[in-house]
């Protein structure tokens, strides 16, 4: 008898050497390195190479990767022209999915993927990996200007991914503290085992579709509010609650109506997400830097965490990565609907690492189902079906 496990909970759908989670202890590591160590010492570029290649890079290979990424920051003229015609009200995640998918039209070469045994070595895989990771942040930043009717800011090849993202977003020289905070955010969001968007990427990748189709499938999947889209929902929720003294009644009302609290709970973690701990500290650092005055949103969030621990702690529901990332980005002055797009910029590294692992040892994903529909029945012509709908 085929067993059905809703949401595939506990089902191993792949073998992977990229990252590891212990959800009871709140541990996350990339390629064996604790996330806290990478957040304290690494850069997004170094962490990306670690995820892609499996080892911390040498100085020479990191420099060459950084140079390659920077050479690919500039977006194709035709993509920019296409973006000018997008509606200004369009969500940044829809923009990003469309732009990445359209980029694929400029880079043929997927036929080499049919030689599944050699695709880990081929130039196409490496070049497309660099191209996609390099393009993600500029696309997001360009859209911020274009949707307001301005020309985008040109990328700068003397800046890191995080610095260039802030530079293209604001048009100003990036502040070193903000740039480091953004870099840490990119590291924290870069990878997370077989989450929904990574699984979508693997399914698409397993058909030997182009990496642009793979990443576009992943971006669409990340956009949902039960996944990456939750960071935007968190800030809306905190605004709706309004103040710390409103939290208890608000939570009790939501739970009585069986509604979810955004940014809380995780399939893997039964304790506070280790990334939420780091992001929480980053918000505190930013608050301190600005004179120590807690704003209403952060105070409301702290109270919400406390009340949720009381009401939902017995179910293992604690803040996930989206809870404090939304608050941090908000404190950094980033528009709410761009939060999930920033998540996608970082996660492109993990998605592509998993894509490469998949195609190096590929078998198409094709699970089964348990049929619960009608037995075979006779077709009745429309004239004889009666009046019932």
Ligand X SMILES: O=C([O-])CC(=O)C(=O)O
245 is catalytic: no
Catalytic residue among 183, 189, 192, 266: 266
By CB under 6 A, residue 268 contacts ligand X: yes
Q: Which stretch binds ligand ACO (CB under 6 A): 37-45, 318-326, 329-337, 354-362?
A: 318-326
By CB under 6 A, residue 356 contacts ligand X: no
With CB atoms as reference, the residue minimizing the distance to ligand ACO is: 265
312 binds, among ligand ACO, ligand X, none (CB under 5 to 8 A by kind): ligand ACO
Smallest separation, CB 254 to ligand ACO (Å): 7
| 292-298 contact pairs (CB < 8 A, 24+) | 295/331, 296/242, 296/243, 296/244, 297/235, 297/238, 297/239, 297/327, 297/330, 298/327, 298/331
By CB under 6 A, residue 93 contacts ligand ACO: no
By CB under 6 A, residue 253 contacts ligand ACO: no
Q: Which stretch binds ligand ACO (CB under 6 A): 38-46, 112-120, 159-167, 261-269?
A: 261-269
By CB under 6 A, residue 194 contacts ligand ACO: no
Among 192, 272, 280, 356, interactor with ligand X by CB under 6 A: 192
By CB under 6 A, residue 195 contacts ligand X: yes
322 is catalytic: yes
Among 321, 334, 342, 353, interactor with ligand X by CB under 6 A: 321
336-362 burial code (b ≥16 CB/10 A, e <16): bbbbbbbbbbbbbbbbbbbbbbbbeeb
Report the alpha-carbon distance of residue 178 to residue 332 in Å, rounded.
Answer: 8
Residues in 319-358 that interact with ligand ACO by CB under 6 A: 320-322
Among 74, 267, 277, 311, interactor with ligand X by CB under 6 A: 267
Residues in 267-296 that interact with ligand ACO by CB under 6 A: 267
Among 44, 73, 199, 262, interactor with ligand ACO by CB under 6 A: 262
By CB under 6 A, residue 224 contacts ligand X: no
Nearer to ligand ACO, 62 or 196 (CB): 196
Smallest separation, CB 342 to ligand ACO (Å): 12
3-state secondary structure string, the chain?
CCCCCHHHCCCCCCCCCCEEEECCCCEEEECCEEHHHHHHHCCHHHHHHHHHHCCCCCHHHHHHHHHHHHCCCCCCHHHHHHHHCCCCCCCHHHHHHHHHHHHHHHCCCHHHHHCCCCCCCCHHHHHHHHHHHHHHHHHHHHHHHHCCCCCCCCCCCCCCHHHHHHHHHHCCCCCHHHHHHHHHHHHHHCCCCCCHHHHHHHHHHHCCCCHHHHHHHHHHHHCCCCCCCHHHHHHHHHHHHCCHHHHHHHHHHHHHCCCCCCCECCCCCCCCCHHHHHHHHHHHHHHHHCCCCCCHHHHHHHHHHHHHHHHHHHHCCCECHHHHHHHHHHHCCCCHHHHHHHHHHHHHHHHHHHHHHHHHCCCCCCCCCCCCCCCCCCCCCHHHCCCCC
Nearer to ligand ACO, 30 or 167 (CB): 30
Q: Which stretch binds ligand ACO (CB under 6 A): 158-166, 171-179, 211-219, 312-320?
A: 312-320
By CB under 6 A, residue 266 contacts ligand ACO: yes
Catalytic residue among 183, 189, 192, 322: 322
Smallest separation, CB 154 to ligand ACO (Å): 32
By CB under 6 A, residue 8 contacts ligand ACO: no
Which positions lie near ligand X, rule CB under 6 A? 192, 195, 227, 267-268, 320-321
Which residues are catalytic, by number?
266, 322
Which positions lie near ligand ACO, rule CB under 6 A? 7, 226-228, 230, 260-267, 312, 315, 317, 320-322
């Amino acid at each position: 008898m085929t067993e059905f496990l809703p949401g595939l909970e506990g089902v191993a759908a792949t073998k992977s050497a990229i990252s590891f989670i212990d959800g009871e202890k709140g541990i996350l590591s990339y390629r064996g390195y604790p996330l806290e160590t990478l957040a304290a010492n690494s850069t997004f570029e170094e962490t990306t190479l670690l995820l892609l290649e499996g080892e911390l890079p040498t100085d020479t290979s990191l420099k060459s990767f950084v140079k390659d990424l920077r050479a690919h920051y500039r977006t194709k003229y035709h993509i920019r022209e296409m973006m000018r015609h997008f509606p200004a009200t369009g969500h940044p995640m829809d923009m990003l999915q469309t732009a990445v998918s359209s980029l694929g039209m400029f880079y043929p070469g997927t036929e080499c993927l049919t030689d599944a045994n050699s695709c880990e070595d081929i130039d196409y895989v490496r070049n497309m990996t660099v191209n996609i990771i390099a393009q993600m942040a500029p696309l997001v930043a360009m859209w911020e200007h274009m949707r307001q009717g301005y020309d985008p800011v040109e990328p700068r090849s003397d800046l890191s991914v995080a610095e260039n993202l802030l530079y293209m977003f604001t048009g100003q020289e990036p502040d070193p503290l903000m740039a480091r905070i953004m870099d840490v955010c990119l590291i924290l969001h870069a990878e997370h085992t077989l989450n929904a968007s990574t699984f979508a990427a693997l399914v698409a990748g397993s058909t030997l579709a182009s990496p642009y189709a793979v990443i576009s499938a992943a971006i669409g999947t990340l956009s949902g509010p039960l996944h990456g889209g939750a960071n935007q929902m968190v800030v809306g929720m905190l605004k709706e609650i309004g103040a710390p003294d409103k939290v208890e009644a608000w939570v009790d009302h939501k739970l009585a109506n069986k509604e979810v609290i955004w940014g809380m709970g995780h399939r893997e973690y039964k304790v506070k997400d280790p990334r939420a701990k780091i992001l929480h500290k980053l918000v505190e650092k930013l608050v301190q830097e600005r004179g120590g005055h807690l704003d209403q949103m952060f105070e409301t969030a702290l109270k919400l965490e406390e009340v949720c621990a009381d009401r939902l702690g017995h179910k293992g529901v604690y803040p996930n990565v989206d809870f404090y990332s939304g608050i941090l980005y908000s404190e950094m002055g980033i528009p709410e609907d761009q939060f999930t797009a920033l998540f996608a910029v970082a996660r492109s590294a993990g998605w592509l690492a998993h894509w490469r692992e998949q195609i190096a040892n590929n078998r198409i994903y094709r699970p089964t189902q348990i049929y619960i529909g009608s037995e075979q029945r006779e077709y009745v012509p429309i004239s004889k079906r009666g009046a019932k709908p």
